[in-house]
Structure 1
Amino acid sequence: MKAYLIPFTLLLTFSACGNKNTEQNNNKVEQVKFSPPIVKPDNEVIEAPPSQSYAVADKAEGNAYTNNANQVRDTTKKIIKNGSIEFETANINATRKRILQSLKKYGGYVDEDNQSTNSGIDRKEYNLKISIPAKYFDFLVDSVSASADKIDSKNISVTDVTTRYIDIKTRLDNKKILENRYLELLKRGTKISDLLEIENKLTEIRSDIESTQGQLNYLNKQVAYSSLEITFYTQHVEKTDKGTGLGYKLKTALANGWNILQSLFFGVITIWPVIIMMLVVYWLFKKWRRTRRAKKVE
């Protein structure tokens, strides 16, 4: 009876080996071809059709790429405020001090600080270009206006850049998604030519990301900080008090005497031809008198 069991045992052994080989073949890494990932404008990521030979572990892992269409976006309004104001004030130095104090209080800073004096029209002027947190912009404008004796001009511009902000942010997010996809492909690549191509694309994408990020940072700064140009002036240049003390009078007298001496000196230099002619005439007259006296003596 044992002789009959031997063929049956061999049949079971061969059947088990066949099933094991079939299972191993099913678990083998499948080589598929993928083209570079495609990112749609609305942040939806889709799989590209097979074209280039990038190695992927299996189809199950290929499904790990998720759809980002539901990504939360910042849709709050983005407003840029700019303005300029020009006014006259009686005390220009006190006004400048008050403006700088208010600016410090609200967390702003001065970009430019210029001063000029026009003696022809007896006018002294300050020009300040400042940046201030947007939430305090109106408070500062009101504070500056309160310092004015007479406002010549006041211009405030408000620009809504929400659409531009969303567009730049969306492009940046898409580029980052594309970068992550290429990084995944880089990990799974096998051919040197494919790896080099992916590296080149990553370099290009990262350059675009830096450029777009710079645009977004600049726009964020414009939204966060408003700019205001302040020009204020006085029609009469402030003069120092002359005083009435003895020391001041003595100092003034010495200064006036020195000024008179200077005037005489430069006045004499101015009429030097006349002085020379007078000296020549005087010398000729004395010579003539000496000659006449000599003749009388003879």
Structure 2
Amino acid sequence: MKKIIFLLSGLILINCSKSGGEKQEVKADLTEVLTEDRAPSPAAAPPPPPLSISEKVVSDENGTNKDVYPSKKTDTISKKIIKNGEMKIQVGDIKKTQNQVDEIIKKNNAYIQKEEFQNTDMDDNLTLIIRVPHKNFDALINSFSEGVGTVLSKNISSNDVTEEYTDVAIKLANKKIYLEKYRDMLKSAATTKDMLEIQENIRELEDEIDVAEGRLRFIDDRVNYSTLNLNLYKEKVRSSATSKIGFGSRFADSVTEGWNSFISFLLGIISLWPFFLIIPVIVFIWRKWKSKNKNKN
């Protein structure tokens, strides 16, 4: 009986020692895991300290602050195509054709930006500057080419401004990032000199941002709405009665012009009156001098 109790006690002590070792191993493993978790990873390293307040943020061209202020990722910009056109159409009746043109413009959701009419002895000219959505530009051109009149000339051009638009958009995004950085720096400015310098940089950036945004709006307007310069031309055909009236009018103009020329000539002669007074005096003095020389001889 004593031997059995002694064996059981030994087995219990051995199991306790093993469990203690396992617990120590588990604790060691947990300690290592916690240590690894507390150790800062390279990806989670704190950001570099900001630039001093007196340093200016320069543009990407200099390549000095690209790592400090990374460029903002911009979305992919679709193609930016500006379409312009010029057309000259000979018509039989300007007023009738203008009504037809108005219907075509309305159908294509376009509008007239400028209208100019000239009436001369030889012809009538109606010039329209039309702005039309880019998707309706080709349909508008085709409508004017068919059924309006005889197309005397047509010039269509396309200008790809995608590269310019992308460049301006990227620079604008970067300038906005710089602007926010300066505003944050202004909050923590310690001296008046630093505040004035930062405010000046903010003002310059705001001006540059306004210019860039205006350029983008201009390009968007030219891309979204194409421009067509349309000229309606009507040559005047003179009848016999009109020709007679035209000849009589021109004859009267010629007589009037001849009379005006005669008056101008007469007034020109009158304007020379000082010379008419001086010439007789010169002749009188010359003759008197000549007579004195004869008497001496």
Check conservation: 1:78, 1:161, Cα contact below 8 A. yes
Tell me the secondary structure at the aligned position of residue 46 of structure 1.
Answer: coil
Structure 1 counterpart of 2:203? 203
Aligned residues: 187
Contact 1:86 1:231 in 2 (8 A): yes
Cα displacement string for residues 111-145 of structure 1 (whole angstroms, at most 9, x for unaligned residues): 221122222x3x22211111111111111111111
Tell me the alpha carbon deviations over residues 191-231 of structure 1, each in whole angstroms, 9 at most, x when there is no partner.
Answer: 22111111111011111111121111111111111110111
Whether the 8 Å CA contact 1:127–1:230 is kept in 2: the answer is yes
Of 84, 87, 90, the residue aligned with 2:89 is 87
Helix, strand or coil: the match of 2:226? strand
Aligned residue identity for 1:46 = D
Q: With the length of structure 2 as denominator, give the TM-score of the two structures.
A: 0.57
Q: Give the number of the structure whose residues are more often helix, by fraction.
A: 2
Pair 1:143 & 2:143 matched: yes
Q: How does 1:277-292 map to 2 (within 5 A)?
A: none
- RMSD over equivalenced CA pairs, Å: 2.6
Residue 220 of structure 1 aligns with which residue? 220
Partner SS for 2:165: helix
- Percent identity over paired residues: 29
Whether the 8 Å CA contact 2:89–2:149 is kept in 1: the answer is yes
The 1:188/1:237 distance shift into structure 2, 3 A limit, reads: farther
Q: Which amino acid aligns with 1:163?
A: E
TM-score (norm: length of structure 1): 0.57
Structure 2 CA distance for partners of 1:81 and 1:238, relative to 1, 3 Å: farther
Contact in 2 for aligned 1:36/1:182 (Cα 8 Å): no
Report what 2:38 is aligned to: none
Distance 1:72 1:92 in 2: 50
Q: What is aligned with 1:189?
A: 189
User: 1:33, 1:125 → 2: CA distance?
Assistant: 65
Q: Detail structure 1 runs of 4+ shifted over 3 Å in the superposition.
A: 35-42, 236-239
- Structure 1 contact 95–147 (Cα < 8 Å) conserved: no
Residue 33 of structure 1: how far off its partner (Å) = 5.9
What are the within-5 Å matches in structure 2 for residues 30-179 of structure 1? 34=52, 35-37=55-57, 40=60, 45-47=66-68, 67-69=70-72, 71-119=73-121, 121=122, 123-179=123-179
Alignment CA distance shift 1:104-1:32 (3 Å) = closer
In structure 1, the residue corresponding to 2:231 is in which secondary structure? Answer: strand
1:39–1:178: 8 Å Cα contact kept in structure 2? no
- Aligned runs of 1:242-281 on 2, under 5 Å? none
**1:45, distance to aligned residue in structure 2 (A):** 4.4
Q: Report the CA distance between 1:32 and its aligned residue.
A: 7.7
The answer for unaligned runs of 5 or more in structure 1 is: 1-30, 48-64, 240-298
Quote the Cα distance in structure 2 between the aligned partners of 1:156 and 1:223: 15
- Return closer, same or farther for 1:237/1:227 CA change in 2, 3 Å cut-off: farther
Greater shift in the superposed pair: 155-164 or 85-94: 85-94
Q: Deviations over 1:26-45 (max 9, x none)?
A: xxxxx986234456369x84
Segments of structure 2 that go 5 or more residues without pairing to the other structure are 1-48, 240-297
1:176 Cα offset (Å): 0.8
User: Residues 160 and 33 from structure 1, CA distance in 2 versus in 1: closer, same or farther, beyond 3 angstroms?
Assistant: closer
